[in-house]
């Protein structure tokens, strides 16, 4: 018998609220893999030490969540192609003794979105300009989105993301500063909340969005998974929109991460089922 499990996990702040551990371990159990996933509370000042410690202990990889997706890059040995373009990492894999940063967030979101619509030729509003927003924006742009409006409070980060999209993809991106209640412009097909607004333990928080500007023909997506039905999802449903919660993005990026770490294509259903049980 082999009494040593291969280790993976997630470095974040607020790690006690991250259900990825249950989702990923459900896949490990289903496929009888000798792997363990560990949620780790890692503050920004300890991030470099955590990465070095994971390498010293022989971890085969790890996820990064809020607030580490951009900052972690300085502690890695290299980046995969998607992470280079996006400028953010949510998944690291050990290759030839080196930690290489990848980004599965955007691909996970895109797979979830494609289950209800093709972003090709669509006009999209994205709230946020952090790691998740960058991943989502780049992937929908590479998938052929016609135009992308980035809505963010910090103009520097928002304009940086707009410049990235315009320079590295064929989509046309514009920036709108988020100051007070935001009204969705006419002609928008897809609205995405790529911020943590509405996530537990602050689930009572509302996106500053004029709900009346949501139209029934729109697809409204929220990357928040806990709770799975956020205020934005509820409002979108009331307005007759097609609503997409964060489960699909989380499961799909988890599948990609497990493939990086183990080489195995896992069945998504045990992962979905465990999230439904928990949330």
Active site residue 69: yes
3-state SS track over the chain: CCCCCEEEEEEECCHHHCCHHHHHHHHHHHCCCCEEEEEEECCHHHHHHHHHHHHHCCCCEEEECCCCCCHHHHHCCEECHHHHHHCCCCEEEEECCEEEEECCHHHHHHHHHHCCCCCCCCEEEEECCCHHHHHHHHHHHHCCCCEEEEEECCHHHHHHHHHHHHHHCCCEEEEEECCCCECCCCCCCEEEECCCCCCCCCCCCCCCECHHHCCCCCEEEECCCCCCCCHHHHHHHHCCCEEECCHHHHHHHHHHHHHHHHCCCCCCHHHHHHHHHHC
Determine which one of 55, 69, 170, 259 is catalytic.
69
The residues carrying an active-site annotation are 69
């Amino acid at each position: 018998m082999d009494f040593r499990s291969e280790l993976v996990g997630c470095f974040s702040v607020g790690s006690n609220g991250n259900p990825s551990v249950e989702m990923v371990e459900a896949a490990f159990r289903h496929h009888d893999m000798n792997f363990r996933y560990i949620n780790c509370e890692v503050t920004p000042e300890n991030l470099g030490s955590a990465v070095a410690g994971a390498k010293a202990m022989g971890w085969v990889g790890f996820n990064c969540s809020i607030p580490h997706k951009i900052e972690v890059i300085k502690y890695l040995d290299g980046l995969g192609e998607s992470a280079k373009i996006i400028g953010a990492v949510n998944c690291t894999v050990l290759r030839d003794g080196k930690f290489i940063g990848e980004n599965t967030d955007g691909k996970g979101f895109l797979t979830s979105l494609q289950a209800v619509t093709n972003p090709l030729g669509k006009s999209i509003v994205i709230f946020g300009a952090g790691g998740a927003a960058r991943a989502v924006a780049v992937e929908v742009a590479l998938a052929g989105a016609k135009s992308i409006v980035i809505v963010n409070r910090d103009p520097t980060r928002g304009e940086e993301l707009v410049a990235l999209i315009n320079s590295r993809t064929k989509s046309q991106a514009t920036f709108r500063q988020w100051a007070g209640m935001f009204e969705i412009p006419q002609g928008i097909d897809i609205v995405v909340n790529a911020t943590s607004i509405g996530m537990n333990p602050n689930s009572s928080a509302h996106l500053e969005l004029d709900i009346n500007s949501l139209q029934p023909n729109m697809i409204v997506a929220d990357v928040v998974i806990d709770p799975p039905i956020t205020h934005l999802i509820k409002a979108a449903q009331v307005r007759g929109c097609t609503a997409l919660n964060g489960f699909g993005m989380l499961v799909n990026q988890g599948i990609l991460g497990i493939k990086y770490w183990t080489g195995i294509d896992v069945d998504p259903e045990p992962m979905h089922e465990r999230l439904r049980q928990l949330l």
